[in-house]
Amino acid sequence: MAKNQSDKETKGLTEVSNMSNVYSEDLSSFEPESFDFVEFSSQGIPIRVLEAKSKVFTNIVTLQANIYNVAIFGTGSYNAVVGGYTGTSSPSQTIGYSSTMPYLENYLAERKLLEKRLEAVDMLEQRVGALEKRVASLEAVSPEEKVIVLRELSKEEAKKEILELFSKQDRLYYSDIAEQLSLDLKLVVDICSELQAAGEIHALGDSS
């Protein structure tokens, strides 16, 4: 039992060391001139110091419970806990609570900020997903870009190649010839007009 008490004190002091302001507030009630009248425990520690440690330790435990409730249940539960805590607290507990209030407020503000950022991240993820779908649909519809390097042939060479192409295919559009032979469209039209005038090819609409 005594060992458990000692462990609690050790734990309390360890945690108190991280909150020096709370610790110093509780010890501030000690006056040097009245120190001679302080009762000592069996371990040689002043009783008032042990009481102060115990109160600080209680404050820390309550504070941890509050933080846990805030983390789990949010602001509403936090307010409920604070309300109950204030109603039942002793003056020393109130001192500990008030000194830790800025920490809690800071924690809540950071938590709200984090929630807002998470909401923004969710919204951005949704928007990126929608944009990706839109880009995919546009890529599916848009024609693939094909680069054709036009060949620079003499008119006679081009005419020869066009006649060869007509020997393989009966019906050709100007654009088909230009694409298959990588020739300039205007050159193809000019050559076809010459071939048509020479009677070597004819437009299907003119056959009648």
* Residues lying near another protein in the complex (CB under 8 A): 171-175, 178, 184-186, 189-190, 193-194, 197, 203-205
Smallest distance, another protein to C-beta of residue 201, A: 9
Looking at beta carbons only, is 9 or 184 nearer to another protein?
184
Min separation Cβ 204 and another protein, Å: 5
Give the nearer residue to another protein in terms of CB position, either 72 or 204.
204
Closest approach, Cβ 134 to another protein, in A, equals 16
SS3 for 162-184 is HHHHHHHCCCCCHHHHHHHHCCC
* Cβ proximity of 78 and 69 under 8 Å: yes
Report yes or no: 40 and 47 within 8 Å, Cβ to Cβ: yes
- Name the phi and psi angles at 63, rounded to 5: -60, -45
C-beta closer to another protein: residue 19 or 178? 178
Checking phi first, is residue 145 left (phi over 0); if not, alpha (psi -120 to 50) or beta?
beta
* CA 135/CA 14 separation, integer angstroms: 58
**CB of residue 197 to another protein, shortest distance in Å:** 8
Give whichever of 9 and 194 is closer to another protein, judged by the CB atom.
194
